[in-house]
Amino acid sequence: MRFIFLFTFLFSISYSFSQTTKAASDSTKKIFPKDSLRTFRSPKKAAILSTCLPGLGQAYDKKYWKIPIIYAALGTTIYLMQHYHSQLQNYKQAYKNKDTAYAFNYYFPSSSDTYTYTSRADLETQEQHFRKFRDLTVILTALFYTLNIADAYVDAHLSTFDVSDNLSMNVLPSINFISANQKPSAGLTLSFKF
C-alpha cells in the first residue's frame, strides 16, 4: 500500500509542475517566419484541376517535380495501348483473310501478306494475346489517371500539415483505475506534442 501511495505521489508532482499559466505559455510561443507558414490549398480544386488536365493539380499544389512522372506514366501506357491495338487489328484482319480464303477453297498469298505461312490457330492465339495486353494497358492508363487525381487531392489536403522539427513524443508511467474493482494498476502513457 505504501508503494502505491509513493508511486502516485511522485507522478502527481510531475503533473502539477507541467501546467503553465496562459501568460507564461503566450510568452513562450514561437514566432515562425512567414516563409515557414504553409498556405492552404483547396483539395476539391486540386482534384478538379487534375481531372481536367493531368498534372495541373500538382502544379496548383506546387509539386512540379511530379508532373514529368505523371506524363511519363500516362504517355507510356497510351503508347503501349495504341501499339497493342494496331497489332490486334493486324492479326484480326489476317485471320479474317485466311478464314475467307479457306471458306471458298482458294488462297493465293499476295506480296503484301506478312502472315502467309502462319496457321489460323496461331493467328487466333496472337489476336487473343494482343487483346489481353491492350485491355491491360487501358486499365493501367485509367489507374494512373486516377492516381494523378488522388495525389493532387491528398497533397492539397496535407498542405497545412506541420512537418517541423518541433514534434516530440513522451513516455510516462501512469496509474489506471480498473472500473470493475476500483483498484489502481500501473501503466504507461504515450503522449505526442505537436
Residue 144: predicted pLDDT: 96
Break the chain into its structural domains and give their ranges: 41-161
Q: What contacts 167, CB < 8 A, 6 or more positions away? A: 192, 193, 194
Residue 95: predicted pLDDT: 83
130 in helix, strand or coil?
helix
Q: Phi first, then psi: what are they for 176, rounded to 5°?
A: -115, 140
Q: Could you read off the pLDDT of 71-119 as tens digits, one per residue?
A: 999 999 999 999 999 999 988 888 887 766 655 555 555 545 566 667 7
b/e for 92-109, b at 16 or more Cβ within 10 A? bebbebbeeeeeeeeeee
C-alpha cell recorded at residue 163: 512537418
In angstroms, the Cα distances linking 113 to 15, 94, 110 are 88, 8, 5
CB-facing half-sphere around the CA of 14: CA atoms within 13 A: 8
pTM to 2 decimal places: 0.60
Partners of 191 in beta bridges: 170
DSSP state of 33: P
